[in-house]
Structure 1
Amino acid sequence: MSYQCPVCNRVSSSTHDLVRHMLGRGDRDHREWITSKGFSYSKMVVEQAMSFGGEEYKRFADALEEECGMKV
């Protein structure tokens, strides 16, 4: 299963790869989409730097799996 970014349509092989993409882009469109889903972009970036695979990161990956899953 592949996952498509809801902002720019980039296809990722896993939800964790998609989370890395969305956090790594960091542009306004990606940040706004993250915020619209009830997550804090800055909180996730800080948590990712402070601890490997934080809980917020995992929750976001789960949310992306539900929303962005697709067959390619």
Structure 2
Amino acid sequence: GRGYELAPELVDYYRTLWEGYDDWVFNHYKASEVLVIDIDKYDYVNNEEDAKEVLQMIENKLKEIRGE
């Protein structure tokens, strides 16, 4: 959402990067577990409850990986 990121001439470029990254993470990355968080749903910088929820998701995933 930064102004310079929304320049019309860059939108296609960013979309290509995002799609390429998503493809790599979901189809090629195998080094570790992946936790996907829809960060558009959380304002973890300005909202303490959102920050706690995101941290809880991370803690839950780590417990899952460890078999706890």
Same fold, judged at TM 0.5 (above): no
**What TM-score do you get using the length of structure 2 for normalisation?**
0.31
Q: Which has the larger radius of gyration?
A: 2
**Which protein is richer in strand relative to its size?**
1
**Which protein is richer in helix relative to its size?**
2
**What TM-score do you get using the length of structure 1 for normalisation?**
0.30
